[in-house]
Amino acid sequence: MFFIIAYAMLDGVNTTRATEKNCRENINYMWILRGSSAPDHNTVARFISSCKIEIEDNANKYTFVWKKAINKFYEKLKIKVNNLRYL
């Protein structure tokens, strides 16, 4: 199911009903399913909502580290730009 949803996102499909339709009609989605029946749009939606919390938790895990590093890099970059401006 993960591969179907990931491919749908890469393919620009934003709705679960469109994902269901593509699983029934699009050969690329059928290949990913490998002969399994197409999932119902409710099944796709439940899978997304059940995994969403885990993805959000992992996405926000190190934001405090990255924010500090980005701010430090940004200050150094501003100094370099100011130095180049006066050359």
Label residue 37 left, alpha or beta by phi (over 0 means left) and psi (-120 to 50 means alpha): beta
Closest CA to 29 of 55, 47, 49, 11: 11
Task: Read off the tokens for 71.
Answer: 């701010």
Alpha carbons 4 and 45: distance in angstroms, whole number: 12
Kindly report, residue by residue over 16-73, the tens digit of the pLDDT: 999 999 999 999 999 999 989 999 999 999 998 887 766 666 666 666 667 788 889 9
Q: Per-residue pLDDT for 76 more than 80?
A: yes
Position 86 scores a pLDDT of 73
Position 66 scores a pLDDT of 74
Label residue 40 left, alpha or beta by phi (over 0 means left) and psi (-120 to 50 means alpha): beta
Domain ranges, ordered by start, for the chain? 2-85
